[in-house]
Amino acid sequence: MNVFIKVYPAKNGDCFLISFSENEQIQKHLLIDCGYADTVKAYLKNDLIRIGEEGGILEKLILTHIDADHIQGAIRLLKDNNLLKFIEIKEIWHNSYRHLSEKRQIGIDKSHKRILNQIIRRGYTLKKNDVKGEHEISAEQGTTVGALILQGKYSWNSDFEGNAICTDFKREISISESVKLLLLSPNKRKLEQLKSFWRDELYRYGVSYDDGNSELYDDAFEMLMSWEKDNAIKRSVEISAEKETFQDLLEKPFKEDNTVTNGSSIAFILKIQEKNLLFLADAHPDLIVQSLKEYNKDGIIKFDLIKVSHHGSFNNISKDLLELVDSPKYLISTNGGRHNHPDKETIAHIINRQTNFHREIYFNYITDNSKYFDRADWKKKYNYSIHYLNQAPYNLSL
């Protein structure tokens, strides 16, 4: 079976369309994240229109976590699809506030409602220097991903009986007899951290926390959570390229990501017949290691593809994770914007491990840090090659 992964130009974000066929039947499709609005307009929408015209559907739309570079394009996709119905979406995975709340819908105090609406109107980011196309949304109630899912009457987290996508609720989801998703993240602890962050932020804005699942809470939650990255871990000053050595990169200490939105990422193994693909979203390595050890207790787990967590951030890998997994193909999605991802340390640690097979590192943009490793002496010594998916059709085939 051939598996095709279309790695869309999504700036510093993620957008992957996975297509495969079983027994020469009609192709099945999974969409993981949607990048930004112009990712959808310029690339994704046309492909989904074609798939719909051919009678195809999206088996799953998986929105891994609330972060503009992963879900903002879903606003454009769902708005257009709600109006034009160009593609059937069988199931959407997306954790919103309603999935963290234990109470039914409640009334909201008028003053609190006003503050929540102010949060919503500010949109998906606090930054004022957004790249063109990244901030194209209508910041008003009813235009969040959650609101548009409800408007379109899509099946929402139905694989989890309407609860949060969470390893404590369910681990394995079947698409067919030969295609399965094995959930690795988030767990209940990571989702509780997300909920606590939401409660603390509401207090900061003068809203007394009340555990209810009003749609207004959903919308404000989605906007407010997307701002957390403004307080992300600050990178230390790097050694100049002239003085930096490969060993310098290997000796820098790991410092794990502590952002709760990344910690809530939906990460999973996609099993398609004999092929195993690891999609890590922006997940925290501590939980991935824990889940993988429960999945396989013996030795290194070899995957046919590993989508590297958080666009190659060094804060989202660890020694324990690197000792647990490997693959002949690694995929990193980013244009290097904002955080200068992928981090050199990440790539150095991936290629430094001894192996009896050749590693291929795939990027969907040429960046300074991808070019840094495009050296003949290093490629020969560490047995790897650099590949780019920066031109149509943007496909990586397995």
Q: What is the pLDDT of residues 122-138, one digit of tens each?
A: 776 544 444 444 454 44
pLDDT tens digits, 302-330: 999 999 999 999 999 999 999 999 999 99
179-185 and 172-176 strand pairing: antiparallel
CB neighbour list of residue 388: distance below 8 Å, 6 or more residues apart: 362, 363, 364, 365, 366, 370
CB neighbour list of residue 162: distance below 8 Å, 6 or more residues apart: 99, 156
CATH number of the domain that 171 lies in?
3.60.15.10
- pLDDT of the residue at 85: 97
Contact 295, 303 (CB under 8 A): no
- pLDDT of the residue at 397: 94
Please report, for residues 13, 28, 31, 276, the alpha-carbon distance to residue 59 in angstroms, rounded to integers and kept in the order given: 22, 7, 8, 18
Q: Read off the pLDDT of each residue in 199-227 and give the average, rounded to a whole number.
A: 75
How far is residue 196 CA from its own chain's centroid?
21
- pLDDT of the residue at 307: 98
Please report, for residues 1, 98, 159, 239, the alpha-carbon distance to residue 162 in angstroms, rounded to integers and kept in the order given: 32, 9, 7, 49
Residue 33 pLDDT level (bands cut at 50, 70, 90): very high
- pLDDT of the residue at 209: 61
DSSP 122: T
Q: What percent of the chain has pLDDT over 90?
A: 69
**Measuring CA to CA, which residue among 31, 9, 240, 216 is closest to residue 133?**
9
Q: Report the alpha-carbon distance of residue 337 to residue 187 in Å, rounded.
A: 30
Contact 32, 52 (CB under 8 A): no
The answer to whether the bond into 342 is cis (omega within 30° of 0) is yes
Q: Report the alpha-carbon distance of residue 319 to residue 234 in Å, rounded.
A: 21
- pLDDT of the residue at 325: 97
pLDDT tens digits, 342-351: 999 999 999 9
- pLDDT of the residue at 387: 98
Instruction: Let me know how long the chain is.
Output: 398
Please report, for residues 50, 160, 164, 311, 329, the alpha-carbon distance to residue 213 in angstroms, rounded to integers and kept in the order given: 37, 18, 13, 32, 42
The total of structural domains in the chain comes to 1
Q: Read off the pLDDT of each residue in 284-300 and give the average, rounded to a whole number.
A: 93
State the Cα angle at 371 between 367 and 373, rounded to 5°. Answer: 130
Residue 19 belongs to what domain range?
3-397
pLDDT tens digits, 245-269: 999 999 999 999 999 999 999 999 9
Residue 105 pLDDT level (bands cut at 50, 70, 90): low
Compute φ and ψ for 392, nearest 5 degrees. -55, 140
Contact 164, 101 (CB under 8 A): no
pTM of the model: 0.92
Q: What is the mean pLDDT of the chain?
A: 88
Q: Read off the pLDDT of each residue in 31-45 and give the average, rounded to a whole number.
A: 96
Cβ burial, residue 323 (10 Å; 0-12/13-18/19+)? exposed
Q: Report the alpha-carbon distance of residue 139 to residue 247 in Å, rounded.
A: 47
Q: Read off the pLDDT of each residue in 111-115 and give the average, rounded to a whole number.
A: 79
- pLDDT of the residue at 239: 43
